[in-house]
Structure 1
Amino acid sequence: MAIQQELLSTEIVDRGVKSSGPDAGLPSFSVRVRRRLPDFLQSVNLKYVKLGYGYLINHGVYLITGAPFLVLVFGIKAGKMGREELWAPYELTILLFVLVTLVLIGVTYLAVVPRSTYLIDFACYRPPDELKISKHQFMEMAKKSGNFNQESLDFMQRMLKNSGIGEEAYLPEVIASPAKAITLGQGREEAQLVMFGAVDELFAKCRVRHKDIGVLVVNCGIFNPTPSLSAMLINRYKLRSDIQNYSLGGMGCAAGVVAIDLARDLLQAHARTLALVVSTEVITGSWYTGNDQTMLLSNCFFRMGCSALLLSGQRRDRWRAKYELRQVVRTHRGAEQRSFEAVYQREDNSGRRGLHVGREVTEVGGHALKVNITTLGPLVLPLSEQVLFFATLLSGNFVNKQENKPYIPDYKRAFDHICILATGKAVLDELQKNLELTPDYMEASRSTLHRFGNTSSSSIWYELSYLETKGKIKRDDRIWQVAFGSGFKCNSVVWRALKRVRRSPYGPWIDCIDHYPLREES
Structure 2
Amino acid sequence: MEFSMKICLIFLCNLVSYLVNMFFQKRNQHCYVLDYECFKASDDQKLDPGTCIKVMMRNKNLGLEQYRFLIKAIASSGLGEETYGPRNIIDGREEFPSEVDAHLEMDEIMFTTLDGLFANTGISPSKIDILVVNVSLFSPSPSLTSRTIKRYKMRDTIKYFNLSRTGCSASMVSVDLVQRLFKTIANQFAIVDRCLFKLRCAVGTNIGYNEAYGCAIHVEDQQGHQGALLTKTLPKVAAKAFTENLKILLPKILPVYELLQYSISALGRKATMKGRYPTAPRAPSSFDINLKSGVDHFCLHPGGRGVIDGIGKSLGLCEYDLEPTRMALYRFGNTASSGLWYVLSYMKAKKRLKKGDKILMVGLGAGFMSNTCVWEVMKDGLEDTRVIEARVSAMSPAKGKACPVFNDSFRFLTCRFVICSSYIAVRWFNMLKGVVDNSKKKADPKAQAVKAAKAVKSGATFKKKAKKIRTKVTFHRPRTLKKDRNPKYPRISAPPRNKLDQYQILKYPLTTESAMKKIEDNNTLVFIVDIRADKKKIKDAVKKMYDIQTKKVNTLIRPDGTKKAYVRLTPDYDALDVANKIGII
TM over 0.5: yes
* Structure-2 separation of matches of 1:245 and 1:147: 45
- Cα distance, 1:490 vs structure 2: 0.8
Q: Deviations over 1:271-290 (max 9, x none)?
A: 24211001xxxxxxxxxxxx
Query: Which residue of the other structure, out of 424, 428, 435, is the alignment partner of 2:304?
Result: 424
* Runs of 4+ off more than 6 Å: 96-102
After superposition, residues 211-230 of structure 1 pair within 5 angstroms as: 211-230=126-145
Is 1:346 the counterpart of 2:219 in the alignment? yes
Give, in whole Å, the separation in 2 of the partners of 1:149 and 1:224.
35
Instruction: Please show how residues 67-78 of structure 1 align to structure 2 within 5 Å.
Output: none
Tell me what 2:243 maps to: 370
Match in the other structure for 2:323: 443
Task: For 1:326, give the aligned amino acid.
Answer: R
Out of 389, 392, 402, which is 2:262 matched to?
A: 389
Q: Which residue of 2 aligns with 1:513?
A: 392
Look up the SS of the partner of 2:161 in the other structure: strand
Q: How many angstroms apart in 2 are the aligned matches of 1:219 and 1:477?
A: 28
| Equivalences for residues 97-496 of structure 1 within 5 A | 103-113=17-27, 115-146=29-60, 148-179=62-93, 181-278=96-193, 307=194, 309=195, 322-334=196-208, 336-399=209-272, 400-402=275-277, 405=285, 408-496=288-376
Structure 2: give runs of 5+ residues left out of the alignment. 1-9, 403-585
Equivalents in 2 of 1:172, 1:455: separation in Å?
12
Secondary structure, aligned partner of 1:423: coil
CA–CA separation in structure 2 for the residues paired with 1:414 and 1:272 = 29
Other structure's SS at 2:326 match: helix
* Aligned-pair CA distance for 1:114: 6.9
Please list the CA deviations of residues 38-93 of structure 1 after superposition, one character each: whole Å capped at 9, or x if unmatched: xxxxxxxxxxxxxxxxxxxxxxxxxxxxxxxxxxxxxxxxxxxxxxxxxxxxxxxx
2:451 matched to which residue of 1? none
CA distance in 2, matches of 1:224, 1:456: 16
SS in 1 for 2:246: helix
Are the structure 2 counterparts of residues 224 and 179 from structure 1 closer, same or farther at C-alpha, using a change threshold of 3 Å? Answer: closer
Q: Tell me how far apart the structure 1 counterparts of residues 64 and 287 of structure 2 sit (CA, whole Å).
A: 48
1:142 Cα deviation from its structure 2 partner: 1.7
State the match for 1:315 in structure 2.
none
| CA deviations over 1:104-149 (Å, ceiling 9, x no partner) | 5531214555711111110101100111102442132121243645
Letter in 2 for 1:154: R
- Structure 1 residue identity aligned to 2:347: L
- Provide closer, same or farther for how the CA distance between residues 147 and 245 of structure 1 changes in structure 2, counting only shifts above 3 A: farther
- Asked if structure 2 preserves the Cα contact closer than 8 Å seen for 1:372 and 1:491, the reply is yes
2:82 maps to amino acid: E
Name the Cα RMSD after superposition.
2.4
Distance 1:101 1:268, change over 3 A: closer
Cα distance 1:390–1:142, how it changes in 2: closer, same or farther (>3 A)?
Answer: same
Aligned residue for 1:246, secondary structure, equals strand
Partners of 1:97 and 1:242 in 2: how far apart?
Answer: 38
Q: Give the TM-score, by structure 1 length.
A: 0.70
Shift in CA distance, 149/262, structure 1 to aligned 2, threshold 3 Å: farther
Counterpart residue type for residue 205 of structure 1: N
- Alpha-carbon distance in 2 for matches of 1:276, 1:341: 32
Structure 1 residue 326, shift from structure 2 partner: 0.6
SS of residue paired to 1:124: coil
Shift of 1:397: 2.1
Q: What SS does structure 1 have at the residue aligned with 2:139?
A: coil
Q: Deviations over 1:219-273 (max 9, x none)?
A: 1111111111111211111111111111111110001100111111222233242
The separation in 2 between residues aligned to 1:159 and 1:332, in whole angstroms, is: 30
- 2:47–2:81 Cα contact (<8 Å) kept: yes
In structure 2, what is the Cα distance between the partners aligned to 1:132 and 1:393? 50
Question: Do the aligned residues in 2 keep the contact of 1:422 with 1:454 (CA within 8 Å)?
Answer: yes
How far apart in 2 are the matches of 1:153 and 1:228?
39
Whose relative contact order is higher, 1 or 2, with alpha carbons under 8 Å and at least 6 apart?
1
What amino acid does structure 1 have at the position aligned with 2:395?
Y
Match of 2:523 in 1: none
2:317, 2:304 → 1: CA distance?
17
- In 2 relative to 1, CA 155–232 (structure 1 residues): closer, same or farther, beyond 3 Å? farther
CA distance in 1, matches of 2:93, 2:128: 42
Unaligned runs of 5+ in 1: 1-95, 279-306, 310-321
Distance in 1 (CA, whole Å) between partners of 2:204 and 2:381 is 28
In structure 2, what residue type is equivalent to 1:331?
A: T
User: CA, structure 1 residues 149+183, in 2 after alignment: closer, same or farther (shift >3 Å)?
Assistant: farther
Q: In the comparison of the two structures, how many residue pairs are matched?
A: 385
Give the superposition deviation at 1:509. 0.8
Shift of 1:150: 4.6
